[in-house]
Amino acid sequence: MLAVVFSLLGITVLILTVIVLVYVTGRYRRKNLVENVDVALGTTLRVSYYELLQAAKGYSESHLLGTGNLGSVYRGTLINGKDVSVKVFNLQQQNAFKSFDVECEVLRNLRHRNLCKVISCCSNPDFKALVLEYMSNGSLEKWLYSDDHMLDILHRINIMIDVAYALEYLHYGYSMPIVHCDLKPSNVLLDEDLVTHLSDFGIAKLLGKGESNAYTTTLGTLGYIAPEYGLEGSVSIRCDVYSYGIMLMEVFTRMKPSDEKFSGDLNLRSWINDSVPYAITGIIDSNLLGPKEHDTLRCLSSVMELALNCSMESASERVNMKEVVTALKNINFQLLA
Ligand SMILES: *[C@@H]1O[C@H](CO)[C@@H](O)[C@H](O)[C@H]1NC(C)=O
Ligand SMILES: *[C@@H]1O[C@H](CO)[C@@H](O)[C@H](O)[C@H]1NC(C)=O
Ligand SMILES: CC(=O)N[C@H]1CO[C@H](CO)[C@@H](O)[C@@H]1O
């Protein structure tokens, strides 16, 4: 009788223990799941949803760096002390999922000094974010148009050489050509040492093997996009060359393609085309004109000619990024001489 009672008791205890164990490990597993759903893609650092939330102080207004239509970018500090920027995708926007995938795909595989490095991707069904290196000196846009910043001619040339290196790498240095599609001064970021990093690959296009162009309905920024891209949605590496040409013009004239003086037949490109080479002093950013003016103007004239060669109406007449790198390095060399 006693033996039966004890063995029943024993079995009950055993069953209870098993139930408790199953419950505890289950909870533990679930907790672990919640904390580690984020995938660190091809990078060593893992950043959890919670750490990210803390890093950017709950995505507060004071940490907001900028807002685009696909999401917002915040400044944050990770537990290890590293400053980062966190790009949080706005998943209400239909394109945001695709854009996140493209940026992860593009950035995790690329390594180049002049591309913005991705530290981690955080991806849950209802939260997607990219953790990127923080660029303490902001964008080229900020430097060009703010009154308390001033980039001299060599800085500007070097920044544009670095952008050209980044594009040359995207176009020729990876297993398939990558078209950035949204080249403009606000997507060119400067780090602590003023080294240039091309950023924002949200609408970049990867071309398949042997494919020279692709079609898209997502447009880049008006004023910078090539005619065939704007009119037919046809993107190729030559679209980036066009945008690069427009950016060259903007960087040395400090005039935006969207400036109100441009309308009808007059645009940034035709304005410059009409002034090169004889009336160049009238278009160049006056901050760049000082002593040694004659040599400087000759170089600036070459820069504008190169910009026109980049932004030819017909895509097949445009130079390519390898030629751009060579030409700009020559001009830089002449400036230093
Ligand atoms: C640029 O200027 C040349 C003359 O110097 C002219 O023939 C050409 O049509 C102009 N191109 C544009 C796009 O304005
Ligand atoms: C621009 O293109 C013209 C015609 O192809 C060429 O002669 C000239 O050297 C080019 N200029 C620059 C700066 O690349
Ligand atoms: C030239 C310049 O202003 N560089 C600044 C870039 O950012 C670092 C850190 O914020 C500053 O210390 C530099 O002065």
Distance of CA 224 from the midpoint of ligand 1 (Å): 19
pLDDT at 11: 54
Is 140-336 a domain of CATH 1.10.510.10?
A: yes
Give mean pLDDT, residues 256-283.
Answer: 92
Say if residue 22's pLDDT is above 80.
Answer: no
Q: Measured from the CB, is residue 191 less than 6 Å from ligand 2?
A: no
CB-side exposure of 158: number of CA atoms within 13 Å? 12
Say if residue 179's pLDDT is above 50.
Answer: yes
If one residue of 309, 316, 317 were mutated to test the ligand 2 pocket, choosing by the most ligand atoms within 8 A of its CB, it would be: 309
Q: Measured from the CB, is residue 212 less than 6 Å from ligand 3?
A: no
Q: Measured from the CB, is residue 25 less than 6 Å from ligand 3?
A: no
pLDDT at 324: 98
- List the residue whose alpha carbon is closest to atom 13 of ligand 1: 270
Name the band, by pLDDT with cuts 50, 70 and 90, for residue 120: confident
Distance of CA 269 from the midpoint of ligand 1 (Å): 10
Q: Measured from the CB, is residue 135 less than 6 Å from ligand 2?
A: no
**Residue with more model confidence, 46 or 335:** 335
Does the annotation mark 182 as catalytic?
yes
Distance of CA 293 from the midpoint of ligand 2 (Å): 23
Give the CA distances from residue 285 to residues 39, 63, 118, 261, 300, in Å, rounded to whole numbers and listed in that order: 46, 33, 34, 16, 10
pLDDT tens by residue, 137-164: 999 999 999 888 889 999 999 999 999 9
**Residue with more model confidence, 150 or 180:** 180
pLDDT tens by residue, 47-104: 788 888 888 888 888 888 888 778 889 998 988 888 999 999 988 887 888 888 888 8
86: tokens are 């966190």
CA 70 and chain centroid, separation: 13
Q: Which residues contact 183 (CB under 8 A, 6 or more apart)?
A: 163, 167, 198, 220, 224, 240, 243, 244, 247
**Cα 122–Cα 128–Cα 133 angle in degrees, nearest 5:** 55
pLDDT tens by residue, 308-332: 999 999 999 999 999 999 999 999 9
Ligand nearest to the CA of 304: 2
pLDDT at 95: 81
pLDDT at 35: 34
Q: Which of 38, 162, 182, 200 is catalytic?
A: 182
Domain parsing of the chain, residue ranges: 37-133, 140-336
Name the band, by pLDDT with cuts 50, 70 and 90, for residue 13: low
Distance of CA 200 from the midpoint of ligand 3 (Å): 22
State the angle between helix axes of 321-336 and 237-253 in degrees (0 to 180), rounded to the nearest 10. Answer: 30
Sign (positive/negative) of CA torsion 135, 141, 144, 147?
negative
Is 37-133 a domain of CATH 3.40.718.10?
A: no
Q: Measured from the CB, is residue 77 less than 6 Å from ligand 1?
A: no
Say if residue 16's pLDDT is above 60.
Answer: no
Name the band, by pLDDT with cuts 50, 70 and 90, for residue 234: very high
- Residues 65, 75: contact at Cβ < 8 Å? yes
Name the band, by pLDDT with cuts 50, 70 and 90, for residue 232: very high
Say if residue 19's pLDDT is above 50.
Answer: no
Surface-to-core class of residue 238, CB atoms within 10 Å of its CB (0-12 exposed, 13-18 middle, 19+ buried): buried
pLDDT at 139: 93
Distance of CA 274 from the midpoint of ligand 1 (Å): 7
What is the position in ligand 1's atom list of the atom closest to the CA of 270? 14
d(CA 39, CA 276): 52
- List the residue whose alpha carbon is closest to atom 12 of ligand 1: 270
pLDDT at 190: 95
d(CA 210, CA 42): 27
Say if residue 20's pLDDT is above 50.
Answer: no
What is the position in ligand 2's atom list of the atom closest to the CA of 308? 1
Cis-peptide, bond into residue 125, ω within 30° of zero: no
Ligand nearest to the CA of 138: 3
Answer whether 37-133 and 140-336 agree in fold: no
- List the residue whose alpha carbon is closest to atom 13 of ligand 2: 306
- List the residue whose alpha carbon is closest to atom 2 of ligand 1: 273
d(CA 146, CA 163): 21
pLDDT at 250: 97
Closest CA to 167 of 193, 207, 199, 135: 199
Distance of CA 137 from the midpoint of ligand 3 (Å): 6
Closest CA to 187 of 132, 269, 226: 132
Sign (positive/negative) of CA torsion 305, 151, 118, 223?
negative
Percent of the chain exceeding pLDDT 70 equals: 86
- List the residue whose alpha carbon is closest to atom 12 of ligand 2: 306
- What integer best gives the mean pLDDT of the chain? 85
Q: Which residues contact 327 (CB under 8 A, 6 or more apart)?
A: 302, 306, 319
Sign (positive/negative) of CA torsion 147, 149, 154, 157?
negative
Q: Measured from the CB, is residue 301 less than 6 Å from ligand 1?
A: no
Ligand nearest to the CA of 134: 3
**Residue with more model confidence, 210 or 309:** 309
Give mean pLDDT, residues 102-123.
Answer: 85
